[in-house]
Structure 1
């Protein structure tokens, strides 16, 4: 079944699955690729495109980054703001309700990242769009659901086919004259559902640095 991934879709998603905001460990813990970035890079400015309830956004801010968290769902952002209010953050967070199909940040960032975001446009076109928002010398981190159904096991967390990509397809968007690719591969992570069942999920992970 095809999904529109428009604002109405995401509003319904976050209304119907409030447990994702607090109870599900897979959703409440930042993904390992972002924690790796935090260890590797000095704090700066960042954009989390399609931030949802802000797990990765807040992890960056907790490490001293000044972050813009952008998402189309006001419900998700309200939860993100509540979660932010409960934490001491050395960095700053600005929440922006935005349709990432048309929104322009009006600036560039030291880090632009997106984790499993699906706007109402083709997935690769979305990634190509956000690449323009990386400052010279800055970092791009794209984490997507990998197009590798055979690698999925466990409790049936299967994203729609139109929301999956390969790392090779994402990497092919990056002009070698403008980007240095440091990671472009299939990686896996293990998550635990609220019922205790675990699943191994395949991710397409691409990290690159824009040449200065």
Structure 2
């Protein structure tokens, strides 16, 4: 998330976020994706909010066939270039969606959404429910969301709601007979401010397995 004052339209905000700067992210996969997905059998994967493609490229390099989705065309262009450079361009399809307005078709063995949080309009609850519905029988839903502001953030730059571990599961309202919660955890990690102030940030992690 960012403290840049948001314009009215989400697509405009995120496109300008990428277009008006160089590479935004490191290109490496999220650590919690690596931790939670390394033991899964590769199949088809959906990466929601893929940004510049770090997670999607990592999954593809491990044998997954990936659909990477983002709202920003510039982010998807960079992601496709990253995949080509990594030699996995043929294993990833890139789709532009404004989630909440449109959603990829099909079902997937892994649906992953990391930090699908936004300072501009986003129907997070609706999107994550559709993410769960897109998980194939026997597949995995992996969600990682910020649990709050970083410890050094004394004045939040905008109003935000951070879901709790139990609150998100209640929002998803998944049938208990059909789903197994395999990970439900809060993880603390080091997080320095843009000015170099040391601190930490907490993330919530949910990994759920859909029954066959």
TM-score bin (small chain): 0.7 to 0.9
For structure 1, the 5+ residue unaligned runs are: 22-26
1:109 aligns with 2:111: no
Deviation at 1:66, TM superposition (A): 0.4
* Number of residue equivalences: 204
Aligned partner of 1:8 among 8, 12, 19: 12
Matched residue, 1:43? 42
Deviation at 1:73, TM superposition (A): 0.4
Q: Separation in 2 of the partners of 1:198 and 1:53?
A: 26
Matched residue, 2:55? 56
Q: Separation in 2 of the partners of 1:178 and 1:41?
A: 19
Distance 1:145 1:5, change over 3 A: farther
Deviation at 1:166, TM superposition (A): 1.8
Deviation at 1:175, TM superposition (A): 2.5
Higher mean alpha-carbon deviation, 82-91 vs 39-48, is at 82-91
For structure 2, the 5+ residue unaligned runs are: none
| Partners of 2:57 and 2:83 within 8 A in 1 | yes
Q: Separation in 1 of the partners of 2:63 and 2:195?
A: 34
Q: Separation in 1 of the partners of 2:130 and 2:72?
A: 19
Higher mean alpha-carbon deviation, 105-114 vs 80-89, is at 80-89
Higher mean alpha-carbon deviation, 202-211 vs 157-166, is at 157-166
Distance 1:121 1:185, change over 3 A: same
Matched residue, 2:122? 121
TM-score calculated relative to the size of structure 1: 0.83
1:31 aligns with 2:35: no
Matched residue, 2:67? 68
Q: Separation in 2 of the partners of 1:33 and 1:124?
A: 21
Output the aligned Cα RMSD: 2.8
TM-score calculated relative to the size of structure 2: 0.83
Matched residue, 1:177? 177
Matched residue, 1:166? 164
Matched residue, 1:186? 186
Matched residue, 1:208? 208
Deviation at 1:199, TM superposition (A): 4.3
Deviation at 1:198, TM superposition (A): 4.9
